[in-house]
Structure 1
């Protein structure tokens, strides 16, 4: 067996790549459920490419840092297959999360798929090594798989249980360490032996060409990370009205009257825009720059932001119970007070079961409910 070591700079770079890809993919899908199906599919596809490409890039950045006493190269076809496997499996998990009911079982199932995608990508990529073969046993694969699946479930659970900025950042950390830990747990359980026979299925891919491909992929991930990161905090700032730019008043004596809905609350379905009576809407939830209406058994895309909805529905009886929620008290069936927050329940609304109430909103809510 061959002795091996790692370049510490490339090890650190591989972790950074996994974190950037995780943040970009998870934050890109924030608010995707409020989009029409066609646009949602595009967002999910882009996120799958970024997350799957991040898994692949992290693996091969780390493999470029693998230092062995012999020369080796990769089979190009198998290397390409490893990238496609990661993208497809992550894409399947995202489709379940964004086109099916997001139940605890669905979140765990998506985490399992992502964890298995990381494992399959790793071992397919390792199978592409030529003139040097990885040596591992079934127990080694089981241990690596367990580490990957557990950490991936944690990452998906944290990022998708509540789609807040804090959860996305924590989910990013979990995802990055899931990919990073799985790789190095698997490498730690793997030995390397020289091989005189090259089992090639496609053209040879030496380390120099691989390094160029990985560098280009990492560059694209970094660019997507910067583009996503620059707008990451914008929705929250807009929702809370904390933007740095302040509008200039029209005149000292001018009184600005909030705009009222003239045709109801707009929502989109099958390419058409319809309008719902405000009294029919049970709640409105922020999804990025847009919102979701809870209307009987349906969740519907609304082009308003949560701030615009609050302004336009001022006087219609809606209450801001959380920075992400507007609630129609007429549809509330019960209220539960907790230590420093609360929960509203909607027994007669099939599309909605409960809504959180933040501490700062408790007093006006209790007053409105007559408590």
Structure 2
């Protein structure tokens, strides 16, 4: 068996690594703060993250393959190439569903990382099976290196990015994901040889490098477009940060100041003895639904407010308040301690007269993230 000599185009190798990193950042950022969204929006965000991560795996692989230079003409099977992309997206989507709709335990993080690692491997080897007029021959060492690289680096990426959902962790997780995708491809290719085959295996229509390049350019355009979309707001202050840095928040939204009050100007109208008292959000510990109205609790007293719980959420989320239960909205800065109760929890406050606030299962992850737990 005579192996073909082949080489890599350095520029396309670098471009493929950049695509992997950009896709990792886009996918991990799209799935940030999903616990604060409705189930429908959460599923939509997970779908977009899966397309970004799975599509990034596929794009990285074929950008690198476009840089392969061999002494024979070769094509790709269009059906197998498409199947490799769809499989990667489905496997990544399954891992993200596991992370966002199940309790996030060490086992869950490891299982999701291993699943994505398997998705990278499946995409690579199925994509390689689509080669026409030449065939890949693998060595056991190359396969072993690819498997270890995929599983270990992907588990590390998800442990880092999902251990605490901070910007720093997402960036570090992005680097691990980019390293995983790149390492799998190049470790596998280091242990791969090619032999010429005289005939094509007609599973689907043949696709030339030029046609493949058009598909890769399109997918890369979508990934980089999503990267820009997520990147421009990545470091924008939200939630508690906006309360702690009201001047910065006001500056970032200067053009909207005349129409949208900043957290520093929001006041909660509360009735007391026939007088409407305007209370600053930072003085409030939590808000409780009371029929069509709400009760507002501060460290000193309890007030009646004409806002519904829905209106309170709309007005106070920008001030850093988060929902813990369908009937409760808390100010995280006022929380004194948190107690985990299996798949629910309780927030307590420093003032002795304030009752504890329940945390429902659906809001547990979001509350723990905001409290830094």
Q: Does TM, scored on the shorter chain, surpass 0.5?
A: yes
What secondary structure, in the 3-state scheme, does the structure 2 residue paired with 1:234 have? coil
Kindly provide the CA deviation profile for residues 193-235 of structure 1, in whole angstroms up to 9, marking residues without a partner as x: 1111211210001100000110111111111111110111113
Misfit runs of 4+, over 4 Å? 245-250, 261-264, 273-280, 302-307, 331-334, 348-358
1:74 paired residue number = 76
1:309 Cα shift? 4.1
Matched, 1:260 2:262: no
Kindly provide the CA deviation profile for residues 18-76 of structure 1, in whole angstroms up to 9, marking residues without a partner as x: 11111111101111121111111111001101110000000000000011111101000
Given candidates 11, 15, 18, the residue that maps to 2:17 is: 15
**Taking structure 1 as reference, are residues 247 and 179 closer, same or farther at Cα in structure 2, changes over 3 Å only?**
closer
Kept in 2, the 8 Å contact 1:266–1:303? The answer is no
State which drifts further: 233-242 or 89-98.
233-242
Given candidates 139, 142, 145, the residue that maps to 1:140 is: 142
1:333 Cα shift? 6.4
Kept in 2, the 8 Å contact 1:5–1:68? The answer is yes
Kept in 2, the 8 Å contact 1:3–1:68? The answer is yes
1:369 paired residue number = none
Kept in 2, the 8 Å contact 1:29–1:47? The answer is yes
Kept in 2, the 8 Å contact 1:59–1:183? The answer is yes
2:39 paired residue number = 37
Matched, 1:326 2:333: yes
Matched, 1:189 2:200: no
Kept in 2, the 8 Å contact 1:279–1:328? The answer is no
1:357 Cα shift? 7.5
Kept in 1, the 8 Å contact 2:141–2:191? The answer is no
1:53 paired residue number = 55
- Stretches of structure 1 lacking an aligned partner (at least 5 in a row): 251-255, 268-272, 281-292, 294-301, 312-317, 335-343, 359-371
**Taking structure 1 as reference, are residues 333 and 78 closer, same or farther at Cα in structure 2, changes over 3 Å only?**
closer
Aligned positions of 1:123-202 closer than 5 A: 123-202=125-204
- Stretches of structure 2 lacking an aligned partner (at least 5 in a row): 259-263, 272-285, 299-308, 323-328, 341-348, 350-355
Matched, 1:308 2:319: yes
Kept in 1, the 8 Å contact 2:35–2:42? The answer is yes
Kindly provide the CA deviation profile for residues 102-151 of structure 1, in whole angstroms up to 9, marking residues without a partner as x: 11111111000000000000000000001110001444323211111100
**Taking structure 1 as reference, are residues 177 and 227 closer, same or farther at Cα in structure 2, changes over 3 Å only?**
same
1:222 paired residue number = 224
Kept in 1, the 8 Å contact 2:4–2:70? The answer is yes
What secondary structure, in the 3-state scheme, does the structure 2 residue paired with 1:181 have? helix
Rounded to whole Å, the distance in 1 between the matches of 2:201 and 2:221 is 31
1:179 Cα shift? 0.4
**Taking structure 1 as reference, are residues 163 and 202 closer, same or farther at Cα in structure 2, changes over 3 Å only?**
same
1:99 paired residue number = 101
Rounded to whole Å, the distance in 2 between the matches of 1:45 and 1:246 is 30
Work out the number of aligned pairs and report it. Answer: 308
Rounded to whole Å, the distance in 1 between the matches of 2:316 and 2:128 is 47
Kept in 1, the 8 Å contact 2:242–2:320? The answer is no
Question: What is the RMSD of the two structures over their aligned residues, measured on CA atoms?
Answer: 3.6
2:345 paired residue number = none
Rounded to whole Å, the distance in 2 between the matches of 1:274 and 1:14 is 55
Kept in 2, the 8 Å contact 1:131–1:198? The answer is yes
Rounded to whole Å, the distance in 1 between the matches of 2:288 and 2:208 is 56
2:304 paired residue number = none
Rounded to whole Å, the distance in 2 between the matches of 1:75 and 1:274 is 61
